[in-house]
Amino acid sequence: MIVIGCSAPVHGLTDAGRRGDMVRARIAAHELAAPTLLDEALAICQALTIRRYEAMPFWPRVRELSANLSAYDAAYVALAEALGVDLVTSDRRVGRSGVARTTVDVLR
């Protein structure tokens, strides 16, 4: 059994590279555990009205951004760029990266 952090499954789903391969291998080989905080986070996300977009069409831009951002963060930046809208985040690293071709509004 392993405890899985919230970002690892995202990388397993969205990263076609080495990190994604490593996550997929670890997940497949173990029973997974997580704190009940996971349930609360999922419930909050499910209660929100959010239009969802497939990440793969943005993969070329995600790859470009991955030198400065995680694949997870890069997917959000790439989507905001493609839609021509601001990205609202509480992650200062995304704002500080300076690689987005859109406004990154970091809420503190």
Average pLDDT over residues 2-10: 85
Domain ranges, ordered by start, for the chain: 2-47, 56-106
Instruction: Over range 32-47, report the average pLDDT.
Output: 88
Tokens of 58: 């943005």
| Residues 84-95 pLDDT 10s | 999 999 888 899
Residue 53: the pLDDT is 95
Report, as an integer, the average pLDDT of 55-68: 93
pLDDT for 82 equals 97
* Residue 91, CA distances (Å) to 36, 51, 70, 71 in order: 22, 21, 12, 14
- If phi > 0 it is left, if psi is from -120 to 50 it is alpha, else beta; for residue 35 that is beta
